[in-house]
Chain A
């Protein structure tokens, strides 16, 4: 099976712009989660989607949003970008996302905000 894929892999944006990142989960996986990784804060949970519904949400401002499509692919959007949004954004997929199921991560999207 193909792994989790994320596009684009690298992105450079200017403050104030918005950005959309895409994640395709492993075939058959219905849960998709997003994480932000920065040197200062480490890995932080953004949100999780299951069957097109947001099931869990982390402590991020409303500028961060996401959605999941019927084929389980997910997108996350960040509006009004700030310098502090520069990070590696990781997507993870899981068969169901419930306890006991492994989370498999994609290669990430490296976002740089200038």
Chain B
């Protein structure tokens, strides 16, 4: 079963605008990772945020984590057409090793 739920399921914006995607989860986590996937290809790792972190930046990406609300958000600033993809959050709640639980993803379309 999917622990994470992304919101919205689909998002369409114009180039240059900001895109915000949200992810909610149900159990306590060790960390949360965001991935991008283009047209059914492999997942590209974007950013990892640990449970004791509240915000993290990487280039045009900003991720926040609110463990009290069990939610995370991914902000992409100044979107480009090349950002068009599906975005997934994945949580790791294991006690040993790794076992990612993925949300259903947000399909982002950036129109030129």
Number of A-B contacts (CB under 8 A): 77
Q: Which residue of B lies closest to A107 (CB)?
A: B42
For window 32-84 of chain B, which residues contact chain A by CB distance below 8 Å? 33, 35, 40-45, 48, 50
A31 to B45, CA, bound (A): 16
A103 touches B33 (CB 8 A): yes
Say whether A105 contacts B98, CB under 8 Å: no
Nearest-Cβ distance from residue A32 to partner chain B, whole angstroms:
10
Indicate whether A88 reaches chain B with its CB closer than 8 angstroms.
Answer: yes
| B interface bracket (residues with beta carbon within 8 Å of A) | 20 to 34
Could you tell me which B residues sit within 8 Å of A by CB distance? 2, 30-31, 33, 35, 40-45, 48, 50, 88, 90, 92, 94, 96-105
Not counting A33-B99, A99-B94, a sample of 16 additional A-B residue pairs whose C-beta atoms are within 8 angstroms of each other reads: A4-B42, A43-B88, A43-B100, A43-B102, A45-B100, A55-B97, A56-B96, A88-B40, A92-B43, A94-B98, A97-B97, A98-B96, A99-B30, A99-B50, A103-B90, A108-B41
